[in-house]
Amino acid sequence: MDKSKQLGTESVGHLLLKFSVPAIIGMIVNALYSIVDRGYIGHMDKVGTDALSGLTSTMPISIGILAFGMLVGIGTSALISIKLGENKKDEAEKILGNAVVLSVLISGIFGITCLLFLDKLLILLGASKETLFYAKSYITIILIGAPLQNIGFGINNSIRAEGNPKMAMLTMLFGAIINIVLDPIFIFVLKMGIEGAAIATVISETFNTIWVLYYFLGKRSSSVLKIKKKNLKLDLEVIKKIFAIGMSPFAMQLASSLVVTMYNRGLYTYGGSLAVAAMGIINSIAMLIFMPMFGINQGVQPIIGYNYGAKKPARVKKALKLAILADTGIGIFGFICIQLFAGFFISLFVKNDPSLVALGARGIRIDLMFLPIIGIQIMGSNYFQAIGQAKIAMVLSLLRQVVFLLPLILILPRFFKLNGLWFSQPCADVISFVLTCTFLYKSVKELK
């Protein structure tokens, strides 16, 4: 039986649970790659803070790798959901085949380009003389493994899009467990330090890729779609459609990379390497809160996409409403935890550095002070992606990450120094929240 047909018939609430819970687990597990790396690196003897600061300066590059994975992966999964809703399986398989080739090609080009200019790039991104060695040691290995990451992460979205969320979750879980096991072995037992963390990450991503490819290629696999040789030939029209929908999350991630770069430079100017290290920890904790939201959005995307393609607007509206409620609930819970236990969460990443804990605790309380409204912003962009309105999705993504946030990062520190950096994010959150609600209200009202 074609599992994708359940998207148009089963209870929307049941489907959201069925698809979102595995997606949430998968997203949290995916976040554990960088979180576990930071946790172990922060506890390295003598060099923990410098190594953590160096790792933080590589974040824009890591986000760039993820951005290209999302450009192909999310664009592909949204199209596949719509095509399956229209009962066009052959077209869905053509999209999948093109996506595999694009994932390898684009991430390979990105990796080579970064490696050619790595020293200058890392300094531009905020690495100092003390932290450049650690940053370069880590990201060089990650860039070499970039094609493996993008197949494992990007194409995994298509497993969920065809109606198999549990398999998509198991893929992410499998790789993360390998990474968690290998990290302390390579870092401490084999004494490879920060390079060991990178090697462990690439090995785990390799297993992810093998798993995903076997799912779509294996004769005994339960997949609805198959990767076929004839579909590996790139088709310009298919590429345009993938890029059109994937451009929104891609732009959002690139904008995030730019924001992190400006943050890092400002943090180093007003707070030194200690502030940069603190921001690295804040980002790790924030990921644990945002990933469940992203998981819900990933879970609801095939439900919205399929029913939009099948012309069932009532189901589209109900799925959107339930997803917004769930995202808001996560935001409220995260807000309470951060405000009450900020120091405890920061201390998990630090070894005997009370100054770093105090600075990080103050920063995270301010940076995430409007968590309860962030879920609606994230869901708003995801909704327009799911129904194929890529331009609106991209505008909403860029409003929060670029149009409002970047000017605030540049202006507020001139008057309030480090505090200005901390407050720039919540200010941008409030403005973009109002605009996202306006776009959503108008779109849902016109949905017929």
pLDDT grade for 365, boundaries at 50, 70 and 90: very high
pLDDT for position 141: 94
Q: Rounded distance, CA 429 to CA 400, Å?
A: 6
Q: Rounded distance, CA 297 to CA 368, Å?
A: 20
For residue 308, pLDDT over 60 is answered with yes
Report the first-to-last Cα separation within the chain, whole angstroms: 30
8 Å CB contact between 223 and 162: yes
Sign of CA dihedral 92, 98, 102, 104: positive
For residue 98, pLDDT over 60 is answered with yes
For residue 422, pLDDT over 80 is answered with yes
Which among 42, 18, 48, 82 has a CA at the least distance from the CA of 348? 42
Angle at 181 between CA 345 and CA 277, to 5 degrees: 35
Q: Which two tokens stand for residue 40?
A: 């172990």
Hey, is 226 helix, strand or coil? coil
Q: Rounded distance, CA 267 to CA 271, Å?
A: 5
For residue 45, pLDDT over 70 is answered with no
Task: Out of 274-288, 372-386, 392-406, 428-442, pick the least confident.
Answer: 392-406
8 Å CB contact between 22 and 300: no
Which among 287, 272, 270 has a CA at the least distance from the CA of 38? 287
Task: Give residue limits of the domains in the chain.
Answer: 3-446
Task: Residue 122: count other Cβ atoms within 10 Å of its Cβ.
Answer: 24
pLDDT for position 48: 59
Hey, is 322 helix, strand or coil? helix
- Counting Cα atoms < 13 Å in the Cβ hemisphere of 234 gives 13
8 Å CB contact between 246 and 213: no
Residue range 185-202: mean pLDDT, rounded = 88
pLDDT grade for 333, boundaries at 50, 70 and 90: very high
Q: Rounded distance, CA 430 to CA 329, Å?
A: 18
pLDDT for position 128: 82
- Counting Cα atoms < 13 Å in the Cβ hemisphere of 4 gives 29
Q: Which two tokens stand for residue 122?
A: 């890392």
pLDDT grade for 113, boundaries at 50, 70 and 90: very high
pLDDT in tens, 164-182: 877 877 887 888 888 888 9
DSSP secondary structure string, 44-67? STTTHHHHHHHHHHTHHHHHHHHH
Share of the chain above pLDDT 90, in %: 27
Neighbouring residues of 226: CB distance < 8 A, sequence distance ≥ 6? 93, 216, 217
pLDDT grade for 337, boundaries at 50, 70 and 90: very high
CA 122 to chain CA centroid, nearest Å: 21
8 Å CB contact between 298 and 160: yes
8 Å CB contact between 230 and 89: no
pLDDT for position 1: 45
Q: What is the identity of the amino acid at 200? A: A
pLDDT for position 2: 53
Which among 302, 352, 299 has a CA at the least distance from the CA of 330? 299
Q: Rounded distance, CA 395 to CA 328, Å?
A: 22
Which among 287, 284, 316 has a CA at the least distance from the CA of 300? 316
DSSP secondary structure string, 333-402? HHHHHHHHHHHHHHHTT-SS-HHHHHHHHHHHHHHTTTHHHHHHHHHHHHHHHHTT-HHHHHHHHHIIII
Neighbouring residues of 421: CB distance < 8 A, sequence distance ≥ 6? 263, 266, 267, 270, 409, 412, 413
For residue 356, pLDDT over 80 is answered with yes
8 Å CB contact between 112 and 256: no
pLDDT in tens, 12-39: 888 888 888 877 876 777 677 677 777 7
Which among 325, 314, 308, 328 has a CA at the least distance from the CA of 374? 328
Neighbouring residues of 342: CB distance < 8 A, sequence distance ≥ 6? 360, 361, 362, 364, 365
Residue range 191-217: mean pLDDT, rounded = 88
pLDDT in tens, 222-273: 677 888 889 999 999 999 999 988 887 787 778 778 888 888 888 888 988 8
pLDDT grade for 395, boundaries at 50, 70 and 90: confident
pLDDT for position 5: 67
pTM of the model: 0.73
Location of structure tokens 């804040």:
282
356-359: list long-range contacts, CB under 8 Å, 24+ apart: 356/49, 356/274, 356/277, 356/278, 356/281, 359/271, 359/274, 359/275, 359/278
Q: Rounded distance, CA 366 to CA 426, Å?
A: 7
